Amino acid sequence: MNIYDELKNESYLRDLFTRKEEYNPIKLDKYERFPHGFSNYEDISAPIVSEYLVKKGHLNIKYPENKKFAVLLTHDIDDIDVSNYHVIRSLIPFPPNRNFFGFKSIFSERLRGKRAGYKNFKKIVELEQKYNAKSSFYFLANDKDIFGYKYKIKEIQDDICNIIDNGCEVGLHTSYYAYDKLNEIIKEKEKLEKIIGKKVKGVRNHLLKFKVPDSWDTLSKAGFLYDTTLGYHDMIGFRNGMCHPFKPFNLNTNKQVDIIEIPLCLSDLTLFSYMGKNALESWEIIKSFIDVTERLGGVLTILWHNWTFSYPVTFAGLFGKEWTKLYEKILKYCYEKNAWLTSGEELSEFTTKN
């Protein structure tokens, strides 16, 4: 379905769907992103484009095993070690609601000559298996980053392959400097494919760097089946009014782009750091997003970084153990609502066939 054509008489929704305001933006943030703070659409808590399409009868998805809606569970693997940058960040008393035990643990480990880390993939997979859930892990294939050295995927090949052996997906997290460079992205994709011994189908850009519509074209040309970057780093919600996967429309070429976008809605870091919400406040917000996605038979994409599960270290000592409990609360609530808790690979392949 070409959603752009279905919205031809609804200019407001069409402009939101295509993210027209992001074409040739006047300003970007220091990481070359278009934040929600720059947008004219202040309230993105409702997926108004999806709601319109559902009411018009254009979206009526039948999920496997009569599931009522879908939840895409994702994890960006930005780090596997507590870096020097994290050590420094652990000393900064910001944002509010942070857990202050993390920095003590970091320094304690360093004094003993150890490097406390975030290599907790097995823990995450086992937690999700309790609720018959699968997820997607997006790994960096380049160890160079604006925040310093990351990791070499070759050194964690066994851990990565174990994720796949447990039925979850491994996708690419494009590096900070390569996100808009086709040849570099292809190199990173091929590097990860060599590690896992199969084609990489899914991608999310590091730091959610995304240029509309160029990023869709670039990722499509790189050979990805789907992308799941389209979400704000500074605000949760439905960036283009959609809670369903879709094929983007390029206003410059007047053509649909051959890639599936599964928009990102919720992120742990966004809730905690940018919005200043604690786990209890976040749950009330998340619950409302789950409920509206269920009502529309849509897809809710959730990003929970691997370091959030590594209490008491976490990311610079930011997240407390209640954030891991919050993730399990999300899993349990969605499982009881008969949601399809799945990976991007499964979801995009299903979308392609239906």
Output the pLDDT for position 85: 79
Q: Average pLDDT in the 320-338 region?
A: 96
249: β partners? 256
Output the pLDDT for position 191: 98
Output the pLDDT for position 336: 98
Q: In terms of pLDDT, which residue wins out, 98 or 297?
A: 297
CA distance 241 to 298: 12
Output the pLDDT for position 113: 58
CB atoms within 10 A of CB 171: 29
Output the pLDDT for position 64: 95
pLDDT (tens digit per residue) in 73-102: 999 999 998 877 787 777 776 666 666 666
How deeply is 275 buried, as exposed, middle or buried, from its count of CB atoms within 10 A (0-12, 13-18, 19+)? middle
pTM of this structure = 0.95
pLDDT (tens digit per residue) in 108-143: 766 665 555 899 999 999 999 999 999 999 999 999
pLDDT (tens digit per residue) in 150-171: 999 999 999 999 999 999 999 9
Whole-angstrom CA distances from 353 to 61, 176, 203, 299 are: 11, 33, 20, 16
pLDDT (tens digit per residue) in 41-54: 999 999 999 999 99
CA distance 239 to 255: 21
Q: At what angle do helices 279-296 and 48-55 cross, to 10 degrees?
A: 20
Whole-angstrom CA distances from 264 to 116, 270, 336 are: 29, 11, 22
Q: Average pLDDT in the 309-331 region?
A: 90
Output the pLDDT for position 89: 78
Mean per-residue pLDDT of the chain: 93
Output the pLDDT for position 334: 98
pLDDT (tens digit per residue) in 230-282: 999 999 999 999 999 999 999 999 999 999 999 999 999 999 989 999 999 99
CA distance 7 to 27: 28
CA distance 78 to 140: 7
Domain 3-17+34-353: top CATH class: alpha beta
